[in-house]
Amino acid sequence: MAGLTVEHLVKSFGSFRALDDVSLAVGDGEFVAILGASGCGKTTLLRQIAGFDRPDGGRIVIGDAVVSAPDRHVPPERRRIGIVFQSYALWPHMTVAENVGYGLDSAGVREPERSRRITDALALVRLDGFADRRPALLSGGQRQRVALARCLVTEPSLVLLDEPLANLDVHLRAGMEDQFAQFHARTRTTMIYITHDQAEAMALADRIAVMDQGRVLQFAAPSTLYREPADATVARFIGEGMVVPVTVRKNEGDAHCDVDLFGVPMRMRCAPGQRQGPASAVLRSGDLVPATGNAGGLDAVVTRTVYKGGHFRIEARLAAGVPEAQDLLLHLEVAEPSTLAAGQALRIAVHDGWVLPT
C-alpha cells in the first residue's frame, strides 16, 4: 500500500492543455474519486499515473518512489499498480482463472501459491466456480468482477479504477458500488476512482477531486464539496447549485456572514476570512421553500413545474425590478400535492447558503 503524490503535472496534446498544473496528495489507504465531465482531463491524469503516457512536466510519486519526473519515467509494468479499465480489457482467449493468474505469472508466483491466490481472489469477488469460464460467457457485472479480481490478485500498492461502472446497467451499479466500498474497507488499498458520475463519487470516496479543463478545482471530502464549494464551477457542477450574487455586509466570526441577497438581508455560511463587499453565493434547492404568511423572501414567478414522483420541481424566475437576476433561474422542490403552475407568483424563503470564497 502506498500514497500517491502528484505535483504540478502538465500534459499537452498539440496546443490543447489536457493537464494544467495538477497537484494531488492522496494518503495511504485513501479512496479518492477524480470527478469531471468528459474531456476534463481525468483519463489523461490516470494514464500519467499508470505510466502509459509521459507528462510534459511535474512529478508523480507512488509510496516513496518517484515514478515520473522530467528526468525519470518508470514504465507501467514496473509501477506495481493495478487498473480496472472501463472496457474491463479481459483477454478473450483466456479463461477467468488464466486472466486472474496472468499477473501472478508476471510476478513469478509459483504453484501452489498461485492457485491459492487465484481461488482467493475469485472468492473475494464472489466468482467461485467461474474459474474455467471464458469472458465471453459472463455477464457485464461478472466481467467487472473478474477485472477487479485480476487487478487485486497481485496485491498492488495502488489501484486505479477508470469509470468501472460506466458500462453496467443502472440496477447493477448500486450492487457494485457496495462491493467496491466493502472491498476497500477490507483491504485498505489506496484507490483512485475516475468517474463522471457525482452520485457514485459521493457514495464511495473519502475525498473527491473535481476536475475541469485540465485543472483540479477542489479536492475535498464529499460533504465539503457540497456544502462549501470552492468556486462557482464546482458549486454548479455538484448538486446543481444555484450561484447568485450577494453583498457581504459583515463577517460574524462564527462561520457565518450577514449578506444582502437581492435586497433581502439574511445569514449565510461563509469562510472565516470572508471580507465584506460583493461576492457570489451558492443556494441548494433543499434550502429554498415557498414562504408562508408574511415571512420575508424573494418574489418570483413560476416558469415551469415538473412532476418528479412524490414531489414537484418548481423552476422560477425572480420578479421584475431586480436587473442582475434576469437570467437567473431558481429551482426548488415542493411536496405533492401542489397547486403551483407556470405564471403564478411565488415568494421563496431562503434558509441557508454558502458564500463562495473570494
Q: Which is nearer to another protein, 61 or 322 (CB)?
A: 61
Q: Which is nearer to another protein, 77 or 327 (CB)?
A: 77
Distances in Å between the Cα of 13 and the Cα atoms of 21, 64, 176, 222 are 14, 29, 34, 31
* Among the residue ranges 81-89, 111-119, 126-134, 302-310, the one whose residues contact another protein (CB under 8 A): 81-89
Q: Which is nearer to another protein, 7 or 98 (CB)?
A: 98
In the bound complex, what is the minimum distance in angstroms from residue 19's beta carbon to another protein? 19
- Spatial distance between the Cα atoms of 42 and 181, rounded to a whole number of angstroms: 21
In the bound complex, what is the minimum distance in angstroms from residue 211's beta carbon to another protein? 21
Residues 6+ apart with CB under 8 A from 101: 114, 118, 153
With contact defined as beta carbons under 8 Å apart, do 12 and 199 qualify? no
What are the cell numbers at 6?
502528484
Of positions 69, 89, 264, 349, contacts another protein by CB under 8 A: 89
Residues between 257 and 296 with contacts to another protein, criterion CB under 8 A:
none
With contact defined as beta carbons under 8 Å apart, do 194 and 34 qualify? yes
Of positions 26, 50, 259, 279, contacts another protein by CB under 8 A: 50
Sign of CA dihedral 215, 220, 221, 225: negative
Contact call for residue 109 and another protein (CB under 8 A):
no
In the bound complex, what is the minimum distance in angstroms from residue 60's beta carbon to another protein? 15
3-state secondary structure (DSSP) of residue 22: strand
Q: Which is nearer to another protein, 55 or 222 (CB)?
A: 55
Q: Which is nearer to another protein, 65 or 291 (CB)?
A: 65
The order of strands in the sheet holding 16-26 is 16-26, 4-13, 57-62, 65-69, 72-73
- In eight-state DSSP terms, residue 78 is G
345 beta partners: 301
| Whether the bond into 337 is cis, omega within 30 of 0 | yes
Of positions 36, 58, 103, 239, contacts another protein by CB under 8 A: 103
In the bound complex, what is the minimum distance in angstroms from residue 135's beta carbon to another protein? 11
Binding string, 135-154, against another protein, x = CB under 8 A?
---------------x---x
- Spatial distance between the Cα atoms of 214 and 36, rounded to a whole number of angstroms: 10
Residues between 154 and 213 with contacts to another protein, criterion CB under 8 A:
154
Of positions 8, 16, 54, 106, contacts another protein by CB under 8 A: 106
* Among the residue ranges 5-13, 88-96, 217-225, 265-273, the one whose residues contact another protein (CB under 8 A): 88-96
Residues in the chain: 358
Q: Which is nearer to another protein, 153 or 300 (CB)?
A: 153
- Spatial distance between the Cα atoms of 29 and 34, rounded to a whole number of angstroms: 16
Contact call for residue 82 and another protein (CB under 8 A):
yes
In the bound complex, what is the minimum distance in angstroms from residue 48's beta carbon to another protein? 13
Q: Which is nearer to another protein, 20 or 98 (CB)?
A: 98
**Beta strands 190-195 and 31-35, pairing class:** parallel
Of positions 80, 114, 117, 145, contacts another protein by CB under 8 A: 80
- Spatial distance between the Cα atoms of 181 and 210, rounded to a whole number of angstroms: 20
Contacts with another protein by CB under 8 A lie at: 50, 52, 65, 74-83, 85-87, 89-93, 102-103, 105-107, 150, 154
